[in-house]
Amino acid sequence: MFIILDSFCSKQREILQNYMCGDRVFKQILGEIEEELLVLEDDLRAVVDTKIRLIKKPLENMINSGGKRLRPAMVLAAARFGEYDFENIRSLAVSVELIHTATLIHDDIIDDSPLRRGIASIQSQLGKDIAVFAGDYLFCKAFELFASSDHFNMLRSVSKVMYQICEGELKQREDLFNTDLTFKEYLYRIRRKTAILFALSSEIGARASKAPTKTVRALHNYGINTGIAFQIADDLLDFISEDKKLGKPAGADIREGVITLPAIYALKYSEHREHLKHILSNRNINEDEINEAIEIIKKSGGIKYSESMAKRYVQKALNSIETLPEIPIKKVLMNISSFVINRSM
């Protein structure tokens, strides 16, 4: 069950609030797994406690900069549907967060993003070459945790997810400034780029705790659909959030040529679709054109359509776990799904 964050006397709880509540919507924390999440914060800091001073502080700052820990929370929650043992899944929960953080570092390199979670990105601080190694360092740490755990057999699944994430990122690069992008192609991209790691998080938690095969499958589907909803909602933030709240410049996707669902809708249904196509295919777009494109997309109904699609995938996620046992942690999974779209709606 969720509990409301009020006044915590513990310094650790204060730290957890800072880390996990970057969005006002997330003023609640996962009460069923709160203590475990606190332990994972220490584990994450220990992983980046490298002797290489060049990257130590930037990595620490990134770990401490407000991530919601949704993926490790999903590992812990899914494991409750089997023989729950925190020590058995502890390293798995840390590993998925390391993989996620590494992908963010590499995303910032590709996008030349100056900010991440409201602070200077590692690539903007140290340069792209060092940022590549910082991301690779976290990937290697994640694989080391898997390899040294009792779940070495899961490395095949993790490796498959890693190459699918790369496929998603490469697909996004391939489709830059492509104004003929279809919803099916967009879905292919975000399923690999984002949703597959949510699915892995849910799946490995259940598998590690020896949950029934049917339960593992249900949680995998839950993760996929939650991840799709998350990415659609995340893409919406680029149109409706201020720079400070977003943690990176608003309109960044348009600026970089990344065509997302609101734009796909407007390119098909807006009465100004030809003009919008001209703007979005321009590799030398200026700020006035970005603002004009955003207005066209908003007036087309692209924002409302995308919101409805995000809600649709949340409902699919909830349907996936409908038949799972009615234990308290099930409410946690339901609230995670709701949170991923409430960030922007």
Angle formed at CA 315 by CA 103 and CA 164, multiple of 5 degrees: 25
Rg (CA), the chain: 20
- Residue 16 pLDDT > 50, yes or no? no
- At 73-87, the pLDDT tens digits run 999 999 999 999 999
For residue 166, the model assigns a pLDDT of 93
pLDDT at 181 over 90: yes
Q: How far is CA 71 from CA 39, 107, 174, 201, 272, in A?
A: 15, 18, 27, 6, 40
* pLDDT tops 70 at residue 2: no
* Least-confidence region, from 62-66, 89-93, 172-176, 278-282: 62-66
pLDDT of 163 above 70 = yes
Of residues 340 and 183, more confidence is placed in: 183
Q: pTM, whole model, 2 decimals?
A: 0.88
Least confident of 67-71, 141-145, 195-199: 67-71
Q: Which of 22-31, 165-174, 215-224 has the weakest average pLDDT?
A: 22-31
Which residues partner with 115 through β-bridges?
Answer: 120
pLDDT (0 to 100) of residue 10 = 43
Q: What percent of the chain has pLDDT over 70?
A: 87
Least confident of 16-30, 83-97, 128-142, 250-264: 16-30
Q: Return the pLDDT at 244.
A: 47
Decide if pLDDT at 1 tops 60.
Answer: no
Is pLDDT at 267 greater than 60 in this prediction? yes
pLDDT confidence band for 9 (50 / 70 / 90): very low
Average pLDDT over residues 319-324: 96
Q: Residue 242: its pLDDT value, please?
A: 62
Query: Does residue 8 have a pLDDT over 90?
Result: no
Domains of the chain listed by start with CATH number: 2-342 (1.10.600.10)
